[in-house]
Structure 1
Amino acid sequence: MTRAGAARNPAPSQEQLWTTAEDKVPSLGAAVEFLQKRRLIPEGSHALTNEALITGLLHLAYLRPAHEFAAEGLIAFAYVVRAVAAEAQDAVSRAVLERVEDQLTLRLDEHASHVETRVAELTQGVERMRREMETTVAELRDACGSVQRAEEKLGEARKSLESAALSGPVLHVPGEPVTTVQSLTIDSAPTRVRRAATLADLLQRQVLVRDATLQDDLGDWLSSKQVCARARSAINEMARAGLTPPGDGTVEEAKVLPHGDVVFTMASREMAHWLLKPIMAKPFARKMGMTAQVVERTYKLVAERVPISFNPQDAAALRAVEEAHGLRPHAITCADWIKPIARRHPGQRTTFVMLTMAGIEQANRAICGLTLAGRRVLVRRDLEEPRWCAKCQRYDGHFARECIVEQDVCANCAGAHATARCNARDDPWTYRCANCATDGHAAWDKGCPTLRAKTSGRIQRRADCGFHFFVTNASETWVSEEEELARAPPRPQSGLRSGIV
């Protein structure tokens, strides 16, 4: 070519050369075809391998190709490199996935084997518990039958003793006269005693159920008759399950109290005692509601002049008192100081304790006296005294928050000021009763004639008041409480306000 022709056809630039090469080798297929045609890579399955790539590059360098051929060859090798790299990456990914899959399969097999083992163990445990429960239910039925037979025998023995007491002479120690208490029976007792015994029998036949469900499935409130029918159905279901009630085991009446509790009256005391047993109370309560509880009737007692070293909140101390005096476990359901500790006088050594007893027999046994903190103390029934207003000092059945009197009346001196502002509270000689309008005692004095008259009136109105013990059919519980009222400290002599002795 002449110099003039070269000038007319100049050599392509590097960019043009490269663009032309890319157009000739546009894809991986074209690249492989280009390289195999020029024997830079082998044909077949070994074309796209690292070894074929290295050999082809060395061969290309050995040929010393022209610019155009070199550009096309390098572009072709670039496609091959990408393909080889992608294939290598896919191979690594597949290897990793296979490894992960193998590990997961192994772990899942281990967990599945562990779960199967645990399920087998739990199944065996459930089966074992089912067999134990069946055995326990059978033993429980046998025990209930034994208890029922024992109660029937005890009832027959009691009836025999009562018949013997009515038909024959009363046994007593030879050489000693027969006392009045020994010779009394419930039929020969005074009318007031028989009324109290009848009321006590009714109370002992009652069972309190708290938080019972008092609505049906539609949300309508149940009447007392419907609640009674539900209780009877529950007892029948318990009987079919093996928890057989006593012979006259039925519910006579149900009374729904204003705050939602229910009082069931049983046909007999034996039936009430049977239902109060924990093994009977729990299934009965569940049938009366998810949160229902069967509560035993309690009796309030006052232990006087108890040493302050005694701790009524110590459960172990209460259990020790029960054991020492022959009371059944947990007969003392609650104990607390009557006067708050903060209100004690400096140097005070004794105070009063309120005891809550479960069971009338346990309460009567405690009334005979207890030893608390090493000291024998007097125990009495908690007297239901008339309501006392701390504002007007009257015993008219209301408290200070309900009092309609505008002016405070002092409980110490009967003055027209609040008791807390009285200057005579530490001087008993200046006391004056606002109720009796007499000198010598304060309105809060337990020996106040007005308080005694009010208390006596309440005793006459209530059949079970006025007795030292809680009245039962046992004649030793018929002791009058009049001597208890007479035990209040004597009042100072009249005229002490003026200094006359």
Structure 2
Amino acid sequence: MPSKVIDAATARAELVSKGMLIPAAGATINDLVNALFEFTISTPGVTQLQRDMLRAIAILLGKADHEQKAKKIAETTSFHMTGAIERLEKAADSHEGKITALDSFINEVRDSIDSAMSRLEKAVENTTSNATESQSTQRVEQNGDPGKSYAKALQARLPKPDSSTLARSEAQTRQILIDRKSMDVTSGLKDLTEAELVRKANQALEGMKATGKEVPQEALFTSARKLRHGGVIFEVDSTDTKAWLSCQSTSQDFSENFGGETMIKNRTFQIIAEYVPTTFNPDSSTSLAETEKNSKLQPGSLIKAKWIKPLARRNPNQRSAFCTLSCKDRESANHAIRLGLTIEGRKIAVRKLLPEPTRCLKCQQLTSDHMAATCSQETDTCGTCGLDHRTSECDFGTADPQHHYCVNCGLQGHASWSRDCPCFIERSNKMHGKSEEARYKFFPTEDDPESWEIIGEANPRPTQQQPFTHWTQSATHEAEYGRARNQPNNQNWTRVERNKGKSRSQPQTRTRDQGWPNQRGPAQPSQPGARQTRITDLFSNQENNGNTDPSRYHSRTPPTNQSQRPGTPPTRTSPFPPPPGSTHPTNASIPGSFSPMPVS
């Protein structure tokens, strides 16, 4: 019997009729493979051999279909990608050439800009130099002598400190002080040589290593300098070593290994704050922290503060005083000097504390060879009146210059502690002349040219504040504060000198604190019309007064006081009566005293 499946249509109809092909579906190779699998499973009477053959044909047919499809996809993809890749390669080659050209152009522009900047800097430098020389020449031609002015000081270039000054400044950043914990403890460091001290300090570092403490490998003590009071200034190899030793825990461990009742003290930089409100508490860490915050200083920049004048000498009505502050480093001190400090809501001017002569608090001599603890004088000398008692036990008030006597000058009218003492001023100037750093307003550092500013020779004394000049639009306070002066423009602005902020009805007494007693008046001798004199001036010659009668003068030689030190004035008599209830001896009871001579 001939087959009725003769073409694709009859083949499809046959498969659909037997349920092996979905009518709505197509007749893809995958559909035919599924039909073969269905035939081998659902058709009865098919032998095992026939079933295996049909399944093998179906599997291979499906695999061949997949491979053919994959090949066609690969060919199609390759055809389309080949053109895109070629276009990308051409674009990359084109961009690479453009990038190379752009890079070359950028380099040329950079070189051109550098060259132009160099020429511009030279031109600006030459223009500035020519303008400065021209202005200086004009001032000389117009005024003869240009003199000294703030403008000239600002225009002048700051001279760089000499290498020795910068070397000392750099060395100070690597110095620490090892001192006894208390003045009651005897220091054995003064009996050791510098080499032994350095060896002892390095052995302390080795001892810290032996106990398991972490010690920087490069830490080393290099030199030592013994101080008069028994302390030792050590210099270490680097600022990192100093910072490590400055830590509290490290400092305690080092002191234990160093031996003795010693402690490490870091170098501080002293400044003076002027006219600080007396409400400020220098002993309060909270006050110091608030000052640091308001003055834009780093926390811990201010180590401590101290009033210069003892509170016992302060005027009851005093509202401001001078105080010293210890700064942690040069940068903090220079910041305070340059911008000032804000203390108790007031902007405070700050200056560097310059070295001053040392005064023995027992004999009152301005000397550098001893202090009160090692003074050889048996009795105390009063720093106020010059008699033989402690200064704190003096019955004469510090505000009354009539009873003041200076041991160093031998002059009445000011005390031994007075900062207006001629001997004190002379020795201070000598010390400043010998100190290179005393010439500079700031603490000079190599990386801060602004710290090289030299204190001007025409500057006023730093402890004397200059009267402020204010600008106001009115002269209504003329009667109270002073008359208006000058009218620099046509905007009704007038310049008024405020008479130092005081009313004309107020006495012109100086109530400012200059670090010592706050009021100082001229000497008030006991006799009208007399001047401030030395004791030896009482033995004046006869020709001075035009009287040759020798009976009017006592011509005896002052007796020598054997208990006095060489080079000091003899024990003097006070020409003033002692205050009621005082224990001062009279003239007759003072050994070697002089009777006051008449002065006509």
TM-score with structure 2 length normalisation?
A: 0.42
Name whichever structure is richer in helix by fraction.
1
Q: Of the two structures, which has the highest relative contact order with CA contacts closer than 8 Å and spacing of 6 or more? A: 1
